[in-house]
């Protein structure tokens, strides 16, 4: 499996936020050899600790190269104390996190391992470094270990999630083409039978189900991209994004949706937000698709307001309410669960995609069924 390039900018940012600097390395410099000379002792200490845990004992018992892990841990310990915290170390730590994904190592044991390393280093420092020097030395070591733990965990989570996303995307891509072909064949067959026949009606229902599956495959792909894709941030005019989404949704089914009235009340002072234009378009598209479907049954009404909150946070608030059938209270939260839909032709991904898009922009999405029927959705996004 191919992996993404090492995100050195992100890892350097973590190092910076931990406050690691040349001053820390200067504190450690006189004592580097004190620790590196104990690398074999550390490797044995580390080995014995995990050998006494039943789950990890099984791994050690079936080690492919006897003594290989001890050599690896000794080399890690030496590199750690000889490091200048440059990008070589950052990349090395990132690759360790990836390796843990490849061997399916439980990340909890990796976290436990760093606690063991701290214990070992504390024992050496307290026993062999003067008391007035041991505290700053241990402070530096602890920050360095925090850096290692954060980078390895970041790599582990990033690549574990990426593996899951790749599987889901591959499934969606492999299903999409056959479903499209099947839909085309159904339409061709339908043209060959009497429009008043049972066969025509049956093929129509099959085609409708096929269209639902096509939509589900499309929405799964959008959800996966929204979940794991990188956001490309720029200034986005929220009111314009909402209006574009209204026109896009209406144009998909003009015969039904042109009968729905849409009222937009946009505050001229509602400024832009910093966001990904595509992700925000998905956010409003799926919310409005849901509103149009609910309101179309009775040629109802959709009201949209865009305002700038008069608070210190200066959030942009978008409220979308629509008429429609009464939503049961116990269905309200389930609507944000993938694959759950109250509509026969629904894919169950529209609202989950919208909420995910809001959260990825550090905003929130609130859904409220209305007592008279229909619903109100409130999206809050940080202003630029």
CATH number at residue 267: 3.30.565.10
* Strands lying side by side in the sheet with 261-266: 261-266, 301-308, 316-322, 375-381, 364-369
Q: 277 lies in which domain range?
A: 234-381
The answer to whether 383 touches 308, Cβ cutoff 8 Å, is yes
Q: Is the same domain home to 204 and 353?
A: no
Q: Is 130 helix (H, G, I), strand (E, B) or coil?
A: coil
Q: Is the same domain home to 214 and 239?
A: no
Q: Is 25 helix (H, G, I), strand (E, B) or coil?
A: helix
Specify the pLDDT at position 343.
66
DSSP 8-state secondary structure symbol assigned to residue 265: E
Kindly state the tokens that stand for 327: 């939503």
DSSP 8-state secondary structure symbol assigned to residue 6: P
Query: What's CA 145's distance to the chain center, in Å?
Result: 26
The answer to whether 242 touches 376, Cβ cutoff 8 Å, is no
Distance, CA of 301 to CA of 322 (rounded, Å): 6
Query: What's CA 279's distance to the chain center, in Å?
Result: 13
Q: Is the same domain home to 81 and 213?
A: yes
- CATH code at position 175: 1.10.490.10
Q: Find, among 293, 282, 298, the residue nearest to 342 by Cα.
A: 293
Torsion angle, alpha carbons of 311, 312, 314, 320, to 10: -40
Domain count, the chain: 2
Specify the pLDDT at position 293.
85
Distance, CA of 229 to CA of 270 (rounded, Å): 28
Phi-psi region of 85 (alpha: psi -120 to 50; beta: other; left: phi over 0): left
Last residue of a domain, one of 189, 204, 230: 230
Q: Is the same domain home to 159 and 39?
A: yes
Distance, CA of 357 to CA of 227 (rounded, Å): 8
Specify the pLDDT at position 71.
93
What pTM, to 2 d.p., does this model score? Answer: 0.58
Kindly state the tokens that stand for 356: 């995910």
Last residue of a domain, one of 230, 262, 286: 230
Residue with tokens 């792909």: 221
Specify the pLDDT at position 1.
44
Specify the pLDDT at position 312.
62
Distance, CA of 384 to CA of 236 (rounded, Å): 9
**For 62, phi and psi rounded to 5 degrees?**
-105, 30
DSSP string of 294-323?
A: HHGGGT-EEEEEEEE-SSTT--EEEEEEE-
Q: Is the same domain home to 306 and 330?
A: yes
Q: Where are the beta strands (DSSP E) in the chain?
A: 234-236, 261-266, 273-275, 301-308, 316-322, 364-369, 375-381
Q: Is the same domain home to 244 and 306?
A: yes
Last residue of a domain, one of 183, 210, 230: 230
Residues in the chain: 384
Q: Is the same domain home to 50 and 162?
A: yes
Kindly state the tokens that stand for 325: 């059938």
Specify the pLDDT at position 288.
93
Specify the pLDDT at position 324.
85
Specify the pLDDT at position 274.
92
Specify the pLDDT at position 329.
66
Distance, CA of 92 to CA of 76 (rounded, Å): 10
Specify the pLDDT at position 82.
93
Q: Is the same domain home to 324 and 360?
A: yes
Q: Is the same domain home to 248 and 184?
A: no
Q: Is the same domain home to 286 and 164?
A: no
Q: Find, among 243, 280, 301, 242, the residue nearest to 360 by Cα.
A: 280
Q: Is 378 exposed, middle or buried (0-12, 13-18, 19+ CB in 10 A)?
A: middle
Q: Is the same domain home to 64 and 137?
A: yes
Q: Is the same domain home to 225 and 239?
A: no
Question: Mean pLDDT per 10-residue run, the chain (384 residues)?
Answer: 72 90 92 96 95 85 77 94 90 87 81 94 95 94 93 81 66 78 89 90 88 80 79 92 94 85 90 92 92 82 90 84 79 71 69 90 90 88 89
């Amino acid at each position: 499996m191919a992996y993404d390039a090492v995100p050195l900018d992100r890892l350097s940012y973590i190092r910076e936020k931990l406050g690691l600097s040349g001053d820390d390395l200067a504190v450690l410099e006189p004592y580097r050899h004190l620790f590196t000379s104990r690398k074999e002792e550390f490797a044995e200490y580390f080995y014995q600790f995990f050998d006494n845990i039943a789950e990890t004992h099984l791994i050690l018992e079936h080690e492919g190269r006897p003594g290989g892990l001890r050599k690896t841990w000794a080399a890690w310990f030496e590199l750690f104390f000889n490091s200048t915290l440059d990008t070589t170390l950052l990349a090395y730590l990132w690759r360790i996190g990836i390796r843990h994904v490849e061997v399916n190592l439980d990340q909890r044991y990796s976290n436990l391992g760093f606690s063991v390393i701290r214990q070992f280093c504390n024992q050496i420092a307290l026993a062999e470094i003067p008391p007035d020097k041991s505290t700053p030395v241990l402070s530096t070591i602890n920050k360095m270990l925090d850096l290692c733990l954060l980078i390895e965990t970041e790599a582990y989570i990033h690549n574990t999630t990426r593996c899951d996303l790749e599987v889901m995307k591959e499934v969606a891509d492999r299903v999409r083409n056959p479903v499209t072909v099947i839909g085309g064949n159904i339409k061709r067959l339908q043209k060959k039978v009497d429009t008043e026949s049972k066969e025509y009606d049956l093929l129509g229902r099959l085609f409708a189900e096929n269209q639902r599956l096509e939509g589900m495959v499309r929405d799964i792909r959008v959800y996966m991209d929204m979940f794991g894709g990188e956001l490309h941030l720029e200034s986005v005019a929220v009111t314009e994004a909402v209006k574009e989404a209204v026109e896009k949704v209406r144009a998909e089914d003009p015969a039904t949706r042109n009968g729905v009235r849409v009222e937009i009340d946009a505050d001229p002072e509602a400024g832009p937000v910093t966001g990904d234009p595509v992700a925000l378009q998905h956010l409003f598209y799926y919310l409005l698709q849901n509103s149009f479907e609910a309101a179309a049954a009775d040629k109802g009404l959709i009201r949209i307001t865009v305002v700038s909150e008069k608070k210190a946070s200066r959030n942009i608030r978008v409220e979308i309410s629509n008429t429609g059938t009464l939503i049961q209270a116990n269905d309200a939260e389930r609507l944000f669960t993938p694959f759950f839909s109250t509509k026969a032709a629904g894919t169950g991904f529209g609202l989950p995609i919208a909420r995910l898009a809001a959260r990825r922009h550090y905003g929130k999405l609130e859904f409220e069924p209305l007592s008279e029927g229909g619903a109100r959705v409130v999206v809050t996004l940080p202003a630029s």
